[in-house]
Structure 1
Amino acid sequence: MHPASLARLIALAALWGGSFLFMRIAAPALDAVPTAFGRVLLGALGLLGLAAIMRIPLRFQGKFPAALALGVINSGIPFLMYAFAAKVLPAGYSAILNATTPLMGILIGVTAFGERLTAGKGGGVLVGLAGVAILTRTGPFEATNALISGVLACLVATACYGLAGFLTKRWISQRGGLDSRMVALGSQIGATLLLLPFAGWQMVAHPPEPGHIGGDVWIAMLALGLACTSFAYMLYFRLIADEGPMKALTVTFLIPPFGVLWGWRVLGEAVTAAHAAGGGLIALSLWLVLRPETARPAGKATTGETS
């Protein structure tokens, strides 16, 4: 990976690891839908501001509908699921579960996009599922229905991310490509349009009480929308454009350590053996899934080893 791409990868991991911290602060106070809607709205406004400052022409080259639809899958639904999970799960847990994104990509690729399932990838999926089970069953929290629902919400989010990687290639890359900044902007607009009616209904049915919401919540929302969404998505789509979707997905290796670190440092969340055991198995599964395979020479026996 090019050094500039590596720097973007680390910065993106730190930002997205921090997003779980900010959601953990905001979602219990605002609820899931307003948190997710505020994030994508601020993300879209931030990207528009960046485009104006950098004098980027708002040209979608006929791919604006595709970018909107991509935003529903890559931002709207996942952000809502993670905001829901943030009400019941520690930030570090959600960050570790986020690392199942490549596993979901493998399953979706095999079932819907004709991808080949190798022994290494199949083993990686099984090891990853074992890691999720350990994280859920042996953590510092009782495995209640609420906790299980939070874990399932995270897995729905990662399934959306896995699907979005293939759709980005099909809808954007294979149709001539598009400036990564426009993909990011269009996706946030699409996610905003998806969540707008639900956020509007909740505002009417359950009006917020501003006096009961602390300044830390508003700061968390600004950081979540502007830093962890608008700026981070520009980094992410640039990585996809420069390095391809699979290499861009390696950011999931780095998000869990940052998520656990921010949760521990800021919120005092416990770091337990479940983090090490479950997170370690998920990391091993990622290595199995993402490692490149050595091409087999024609006419020669192979040892079965891959690099």
Structure 2
Amino acid sequence: MRTSDYVRLLALAAIWGASFLFMRIAAPAFGSVNTTFLRVFFALIGLAVMLLLLRTPMQFHGKLKSAMVLGIINSGIPFLMYAIAALWLPAGYSAILNATTPLMGALIGFSFFNEQLTLRKWGGVMLGLIGIALITTTGELSLTGSFITGVLACLIATACYGCAGFLTRRWISERGGLDAKLVAFGSQLGAALFLLPFFGYTMVAGPVVNWAQPEVWASVLAVGFICTALAYLLYFRLIADIGPLRSLTVTFLIPPFGILWGYLVLGETLTGGFVMGGAIVCLAVWLVVSPARVVKPVSPQTER
């Protein structure tokens, strides 16, 4: 990986980490499903404006349908699953379970996409989970049906993330590629259309929402334009440059940034294991994304 790839990986983690801050402000006020749809909707608008300003030709070369399906798998379903999990799980539990994305990606890639994994990468994935557990503080919850439902919802979301990375490579990259801006736009279009019926149902049958809250709207706009539109541009570009498995390691870095933003903006207290956990996470990311050293065999002419 190049230095620019590491920089983009950190930037993506910082942006997605900030989404926890914005969702923490918006979801209680507007509702989880409403906030999720608005996030995708504003991301779609932001990407459309970006395409117009950059005068990007809307030429999908037969890949629009694939991009839209990717949006359902990589945005629509995961966002909805995390909204459901938020009804019963503390944010810490969701953050820990979100970190299983590279593990899910490794299992899915090994099982269905002929991805070769070394013991070093498996060790990095497991070490990353240990680091996330140290960073995140969670309370004790009884093993109820609601708790199990929340956990399963998070695992469905991470499985979708893991699968989407490989599908992006198969449907987009290996078929000649596509501008990352167009992939992001198509994916958010698919996610918005998928979430629209859920949004419509909550508007008709859900609780009354006080929409006149400027600070909440600011959070919704930020999570839509920055944490989704801009973030997915970086994400799909990373998949094209460094591959799906390495790109998925960004989930190891999201919780540290999420906790940091909460500390800086909301005055939340850092956990005792933050420094140690953060160091372990960095080591885990390095183990997973760094290439294995290839030992060249000694030629017969150089043997003594």
| TMscore range, shorter length | 0.7 to 0.9
Separation of aligned partners in 1, 2:175 and 2:54: 25
Corresponding residue number in structure 2 for 1:267: 266
- Residue by residue over 1:76-102, the C-alpha shift from the partner in whole angstroms, topping out at 9 and shown as x without a partner, is 111222333445556566455433322
| Shift, 1:22, TM fit | 1.1
Corresponding residue number in structure 2 for 1:33: 33
Corresponding residue number in structure 1 for 2:256: 257
- The answer to whether the 8 A contact 1:41-1:225 is kept is yes
Separation of aligned partners in 2, 1:3 and 1:119: 25
| Shift, 1:235, TM fit | 1.8
CA change 1:3–1:114 in 2 (3 A) is closer
User: SS at the partner of 1:210?
Assistant: coil
Which stretch shifts more, 156-165 or 248-257? 248-257
Corresponding residue number in structure 1 for 2:237: 238
- Residue by residue over 1:103-148, the C-alpha shift from the partner in whole angstroms, topping out at 9 and shown as x without a partner, is 2111111122222343233434444555666678xx3422245666
Separation of aligned partners in 2, 1:72 and 1:274: 35
- The answer to whether the 8 A contact 1:90-1:269 is kept is no
Separation of aligned partners in 2, 1:40 and 1:280: 33
Which stretch shifts more, 256-265 or 40-49? 256-265
2:254 paired with 1:294: no
- The answer to whether the 8 A contact 1:24-1:87 is kept is no
- The answer to whether the 8 A contact 1:82-1:157 is kept is yes
User: SS at the partner of 1:273?
Assistant: coil
Corresponding residue number in structure 2 for 1:141: 139
Unaligned 5+ segments in structure 1 are: 301-307
| Shift, 1:48, TM fit | 0.5
Which stretch shifts more, 82-91 or 155-164? 82-91
- The answer to whether the 8 A contact 2:253-2:281 is kept is no
- The answer to whether the 8 A contact 1:125-1:285 is kept is yes
Counterpart amino acid of 2:193? L
Which stretch shifts more, 188-197 or 257-266? 257-266
- The answer to whether the 8 A contact 2:101-2:158 is kept is yes
- The answer to whether the 8 A contact 1:27-1:87 is kept is no
Corresponding residue number in structure 1 for 2:302: none
1:34-53 to 2 correspondences below 5 Å: 34-53=34-53
Separation of aligned partners in 2, 1:258 and 1:279: 10
TM-score when normalising by structure 2: 0.84
User: SS at the partner of 2:221?
Assistant: helix
Corresponding residue number in structure 1 for 2:8: 8
Separation of aligned partners in 1, 2:78 and 2:281: 20
User: SS at the partner of 1:142?
Assistant: coil
Counterpart amino acid of 1:270? T
2:153 paired with 1:123: no
- Residue by residue over 1:54-90, the C-alpha shift from the partner in whole angstroms, topping out at 9 and shown as x without a partner, is 1111111100110011001111111222333445556
Separation of aligned partners in 2, 1:217 and 1:209: 12
| Shift, 1:296, TM fit | 4.8
Separation of aligned partners in 1, 2:88 and 2:265: 17
- Residue by residue over 1:152-192, the C-alpha shift from the partner in whole angstroms, topping out at 9 and shown as x without a partner, is 43333222111111000000011111111000000000111
Separation of aligned partners in 1, 2:229 and 2:57: 17
1:11-90 to 2 correspondences below 5 Å: 11-87=11-87
Separation of aligned partners in 2, 1:3 and 1:287: 13
- RMSD between aligned alpha carbons? 3.0
2:171 paired with 1:176: no
Separation of aligned partners in 2, 1:269 and 1:152: 28
Separation of aligned partners in 1, 2:114 and 2:2: 30
Aligned residues between the structures: 297
User: SS at the partner of 2:253?
Assistant: helix
2:159 paired with 1:159: yes
User: SS at the partner of 2:262?
Assistant: helix
- The answer to whether the 8 A contact 1:72-1:194 is kept is yes
